[in-house]
Each structure stands twice: as structure tokens, then as C-alpha cells.
Amino acid sequence: MQPLECDVLVIGSGASGLAAAVTAAHHGQQVIVAEKASQLGGTSAWSGGWLWIPRNPLAIAEGIVETDDAPERYLRGQTHVSELDPRQRAFLHHGPQMVAFFQQHTAVQFQCGSRMPDMREGDGSTRGGRSLCALPYDGRLLGPWLHKLRPPLDIVSLAGMGIAGGADMAAFFNATRSPTAALHVSKRLLRHCRDLLLHRRGLQLVNGNALVARLLRSALDLGVTLLTDKPASRLLGEGRVSGAQFADGQLIHARRGVVLACGGFAHDRQRIAHLMPHAPDGTQHYSAAPRENSGDGLHLGEQAGGLVQATTAHAGAWAPVSRVPRSNGSFGHFPHLVDRAKPGFIAVRRDGRRFVNEADCYHDFMNALFAATPKGEAPEAWLICDHAAQRRYGIGWAKPFPFPTRHYQRCGYLHSGRTLEELAQRCGIDIEQLQRTVDGFNRHATRGEDPLFQRGVSAYNRAQGEPSQAPNPSLRPLLHGPFHAVKLLPGSLGTFAGLGTDASARVLDRNARPIPGLYAVGNDMHSVMGGHYPSGGITLGPGMTFGYLAGRALSTLTT
């Protein structure tokens, strides 16, 4: 097989890698992107697509102007440091530049999350303006490359149709209550059915699918070569990384350097066992990331002299997941990001007690579960709701009205009981304690209060709840059966432990010196947040920012 040559080789095609590719190509470099999977987009294509970029130009245009030090104060508090390190400062400084670059020069266009608050309230936090999401995108503009784009995660989407956060999702939740919402949903469903018939997939792309589609369109417009089914086996070069060899034997030589963007180690059992205490043999962790994210980038970086930094607060971006049985005998992993915060839900351990504010962020939810689990027990919980809540919001994979619950019950995913006692018996939950828990919860929830965990007090809790629910958008009693439950297991949206890098995304060796020609971005880069989760979008925000910085740095190298 003939070797290929380029200026910049990017291994991996998520948003971070594509950001590096597009930036380098815009600055005149010949770029190749090599993707291990048969489709492009990685975890980014399955994600909500949000980026956390304080003081971004869209927020400023909307009149949301922060003091210069507010984001820094917030990050210091959330990452528990007295001073930000150079990478964190680079992220805050260059993040807005990255947004402006893509807005001005590419097909990537954003919308401002002006009503999306930070996940926690504290010094420097805001009620909105720091989050961005790609605008919806017409998949037809990708032409034949549409079918090379990884579609939305099937168990989360509606027959492959992505549902955007905000007004779009609210319409689906209220379709049986509002004629306007019903009309919106009807139009979306009719268009999606037409797209499936004519194009075999949805064309109205939203969330992370829209972000990746826009990046792909930008890469194609700039002449970037995109390769799929191309897993890398080793890096090339003596003293300087100058390309890679792939599993099919092909060599790709890169005159300026290589960017590792392989998505982290979400399915690398050996590294999971080493870095995640709840999964001592690597099998008790259930990531929602694609199976291809098996640590390739970290292994390649280590071969070149890089060091995977395990000194992080948490090795992964934790999220509770439920196991979804598939027809072929395998299981998918449904990430519970939305349902927990809705009125009519609670979460308990098998002892029947609540252990967390269910409306807090997914990362905090799992940390609370880890802390509440006695040594020697598996960190598991049950998400419980009444019938009205399941019919309106769904519970995990078990979709709301008009989808019947019978299928989910028959396959063992959804557990139901006419009474709480019957449900507890079927789930193995302490019956008497569950009844006491629900009675106490209901007594306070009637008044919109949660003295145990203060659910619904924070702006983030309220934003995740139901606006029409008074007096607390996140709370109401669990009233009438049948009651439903889904088992929650420890999972993640991605990983935090990664290759040590500097403020330009250059991979560092064991002596903290840059390895010439080697960069790492996204989840292959050690978390800029130190394994903490300050707000939604703290993966894609730094990922695209350092992808932009890597692409820019590679374009200014002298060869």
C-alpha cells in the first residue's frame, strides 16, 4: 500500500480533532484525518453538543458581559485551586477567539445558551451566557458524506431523530398539553419519516450531530482528506513524531506533526481497572461513549514517551446509566441526563433511602452514589417515578406516551408495580424504608420543599425541571400507581485522565518537555479541569479550544 503524505495528521474525528484539522487547513496546511470507526464524529456526534466558553462573542452580543475575573474565580472555586495553571488560563483566554474563528471562517455556527446556568452556584457563577451549541444543520449539505456521519445514539433518539434541548425538547414533553407543542412535534415527526424514506436517516441535525456535521462540511470545503476504518497502530519518527502506521499497514507521513484525538479510554478495561476504584477488574463500568474509544491515543502517546497523568480528582465524567437490552444479546448504555430532575422522580439505593439531590448534575449524582455505597457493595441505585411522570417524560429508554410500557417491561428493562410495596419487592428494595422515604418526600414536595437535599433551590435544578410545575419546577409528590423503576449503574460520558500537555496542546514527556511533533486534544488530553465538572460543556469547550490552538501551532512551525 502506497504511503500518504500530509502536513498534519489528525488521528480521530470528534469535534476536538476536527477543530484541529479545520484550523490547520484554514492556515494552508495539507491535512489528513484518520478515523478508527466506519463513521465519523466519535462521542461528539452522540453528545448534546454544548461547549462551555466564558465571555464568548455570542454572549457579549446579547449583552451578557462578565467582569474579567468572574470565570477565573468560578474555575478556581470549582477545581479547588488557589491559582489557575497555564492550560486553564490558555483556555479562558483563547476560548472566545476559537468561537470567533469558527463563526467567521467556517460552516460552524453557534447559538448562545443565554438561559443555561452554571451547574453550581458560587463565587463567579452565572445564570447563563457561558454555554454554546451548534445551530441545527441540514444534513443534505453534506452530500454523500452524510452517511459517513455517525448518527445520534439510537437508544436516546426517537427512531434516529435527535431532539434538541430547550424549546424542542419542551415541545415533546408538552405535546399532549399544548396545541402549539403538538403541531411542532407533528411537523418534526413527519419530516423525519420523510427523511427516513428518502435518505435512510434524519436530515434535521441537532446537538452534537449538528456540530460534527458543520465541522465536516468545513473540513471538506478546505480540502481535508477524511479516512474511515483506519485504526492507528504506532507513531513514526525518531526524536520527532512524523506520522503513523495503521492497522492495514499503510504509512502516513506528516511533515509538521500528529494530533491525537482518539476519544480517551472509555472502553479500555485495563486502564479502567487501574484508574476507577468502582471497577477493579475493568468490567463494572458502563460508559455511554462509542466502543471505539478504547484508549488508542493514550497508548500511542505513551509509545512516543508521553505520560498519562492519573493525578486527577476523578478519572471520568461520571453519569448514571441503565443497561438497554438489544436484540442481538448485547447491551446499550442509556445516560440519564434529563429524567432525574423532572417532577415525580426520586432515586434510592436498595436500602430504600435517597442519597442525593436528583436534579444535580450527572457527575455529582454519581459521586454521591459512590460516597453512599458501603465498602464491598456495587454502586447501584434505582430511579423511581409514578405513572404520570413516566407517561409525560419517560424514564430512561422507556419512552413516554404514546409509547406503551409493555415492551420495556417484557424485556426486563422497566420494573413496575401497582403499589410501592409491589415495586420494591420486584426490585429488591427495602419495602418499609422505601415507603417511609416516599411518604416523607411527598409531604415536603407538596410545598415545593426538599429539606434533605434542597432539590430545586439552585438555578441549574430549576432549569432542568418543568417550568409549569409550581411552586418548585423540580418537585412534586409521587402520587398514583403503577410506579416504575429503572436500575442505575456507574457510567460515564467520557474520561478525564489523559496525556500530559502544555498550554499549546503539545504532549509532554516524563521530564515535562514537549515531544516534537506530537499534540493531544479532547479526551486524549489530561483534563484541563483536573477531573472536576464545573459546568455542562467542559469537555467540548476545552476540546475545541485546544484543537484550535494545536491547529494554529502546527501551522506556524518551521520545518
Cβ-based neighbour number of residue 407 at 10 Å? 12
The four Cα atoms 271, 277, 282, 283 give a dihedral, to 10 degrees, of -150
**What mean pLDDT is predicted for residues 495-520?**
97
Question: Has residue 328 got a pLDDT over 60?
Answer: yes
SS3 376: coil
% the chain with pLDDT above 90: 86
Sheet holding 110-113, edge to edge: 50-52, 131-134, 110-113
pLDDT tens per residue, range 202-230: 889 999 999 999 999 999 999 999 999 99
**What mean pLDDT is predicted for residues 491-515?**
97
For domain 318-491, give the fold.
Flavocytochrome C3; Chain A, domain 1 (3.90.700)
144 vs 189, residue with greater confidence: 144
- In this predicted structure, what is the pLDDT of residue 247? 96
- In this predicted structure, what is the pLDDT of residue 160? 83
CA angle (262, 267, 270) in 5-degree steps: 110
Q: Helices (H), strands (E): how many in the chain?
A: 16, 21
- Report the mean per-residue pLDDT for the chain: 94
Instruction: Assess contact for 357 and 350: CB atoms under 8 A.
Output: no
SS3 295: coil
pLDDT tens per residue, range 24-69: 999 999 999 999 999 999 999 999 999 999 999 999 999 998 988 9
- In this predicted structure, what is the pLDDT of residue 559? 53
- In this predicted structure, what is the pLDDT of residue 557? 74
For domain 1-158+206-314+496-558, give the fold.
FAD/NAD(P)-binding domain (3.50.50)
- In this predicted structure, what is the pLDDT of residue 195? 83
DSSP β-bridge partners for residue 487: 382
Instruction: Assess contact for 320 and 490: CB atoms under 8 A.
Output: yes
pLDDT tens per residue, range 229-259: 999 999 999 889 999 999 999 999 999 999 9
- In this predicted structure, what is the pLDDT of residue 149? 97
Q: Where are the domains of the chain?
A: 1-158+206-314+496-558, 161-200, 318-491
- In this predicted structure, what is the pLDDT of residue 363? 96
Instruction: Assess contact for 359 and 365: CB atoms under 8 A.
Output: no
- In this predicted structure, what is the pLDDT of residue 178? 82
- In this predicted structure, what is the pLDDT of residue 140? 94
DSSP 50-106: EEE-TT-HHHHHTT----TTHHHHHHHHHHT-SS--HHHHHHHHHHHHHHHHHHHHS
pLDDT tens per residue, range 143-183: 999 999 999 988 988 878 888 877 788 778 888 888 887 78
pLDDT band at 80 (very low <50, low <70, confident <90, very high): very high
- In this predicted structure, what is the pLDDT of residue 59? 94
Question: Has residue 311 got a pLDDT over 80?
Answer: no
Cα–Cα distance list, 390 to 289, 383, 478, 484 (Å): 26, 11, 11, 8
d(CA 29, CA 428): 60
Sign of CA dihedral 542, 396, 211, 129: negative
pLDDT band at 264 (very low <50, low <70, confident <90, very high): very high
Q: Report helix angle 15-26 to 86-105, nearest 10.
A: 70
**What mean pLDDT is predicted for residues 119-138?**
94
Cβ-based neighbour number of residue 404 at 10 Å? 10
Nearest to 31 by CA among 11, 15, 9: 9
pLDDT tens per residue, range 382-416: 999 999 999 999 999 999 999 999 999 999 999 99
- In this predicted structure, what is the pLDDT of residue 558? 62
d(CA 514, CA 502): 8
- In this predicted structure, what is the pLDDT of residue 113? 87
